[in-house]
Amino acid sequence: MEGIRQGDIPGVQLKRRVVVPGSSPEKVWPFWVEADKQSCWLGDRARLEEGPPTVFWLESDLVQGGVRREYVEVVERVEPERLVLGFRQLDAGWTAATKVTVELAQSEAGCHVMVLQEGFQKLPLSLGLTAWEHSRARWGRALKRLAEIGRPEGAP
């Protein structure tokens, strides 16, 4: 099991970072806001409903439990550097949305992606820590995949 990282508060918030080598915020941004690109790394299928509010419906095929549907509402959008989402897993019984803040920044190494998901304590006590653990594992896998597919051809 992965250890707790700086910025993580079990059952409350989690923070993940990844670098997309050789890329830029302008190139990584579409992977966050275009349904066809989201389905390459964040879910198995994605559908966009233009707003207000702008809403993404994500579906993920899980090994156990079948399909999981997620409702993702765009709360704030500052292209190409900041995106704030209300994130709710409908089939997992989430009675409230968590807040996901995505920040993209350029460096010599590429595009730095920071994801902060918070608000798990708004979920029922019996669900909050389980949802946090699930999200922690999911962001780890998803951001690793984003770093692979968002990398320009020829980048290290």
How far, in Å, CA of 73 to CA of 86, rounded? 5
pLDDT for 154: 63
pLDDT for 65: 56
Cis ω for the linkage preceding 152 (within 30 of 0) = no
pLDDT tens per residue across span 140-155: 989 999 999 988 876 6
What CATH number is given to the structural domain containing 130? Answer: 3.30.530.20
Q: Quick check: is 154 in a domain?
A: no
Q: What pTM was computed for the model?
A: 0.87
Q: Quick check: is 75 in a domain?
A: yes
Q: Quick check: is 72 in a domain?
A: yes
As for how many domains the chain has, the answer is 1
Q: Quick check: is 2 in a domain?
A: no
pLDDT tens digits in sequence order for the chain, 156 residues long: 455 666 688 889 999 999 999 999 999 999 999 988 888 888 778 888 887 778 888 777 654 556 677 888 999 999 999 999 999 888 788 889 999 999 999 999 999 999 999 999 999 888 888 889 888 888 998 999 999 998 887 666
Domain span at residue 75 reads 13-149
pLDDT for 63: 47
Q: Quick check: is 156 in a domain?
A: no
What is the number of H-type helices and E-type strands within the chain? Answer: 4, 7
pLDDT tens per residue across span 19-32: 999 999 999 999 99
pLDDT for 156: 64
110-118/82-89 β-pairing:
unpaired
Closest CA to 80 of 25, 34, 32, 36: 25
Both tokens of 144, joined, read 């690793």
> Is residue 141 within a helix (H) or strand (E), and if so which, with residue range?
helix 125-149
Q: Is 94 left (phi over 0), alpha (psi -120 to 50) or beta?
A: beta
Per-residue HEC secondary structure of 92-113 comes to CCCCCCEEEEEEEEEECCEEEE
Q: Quick check: is 1 in a domain?
A: no
Q: Quick check: is 123 in a domain?
A: yes
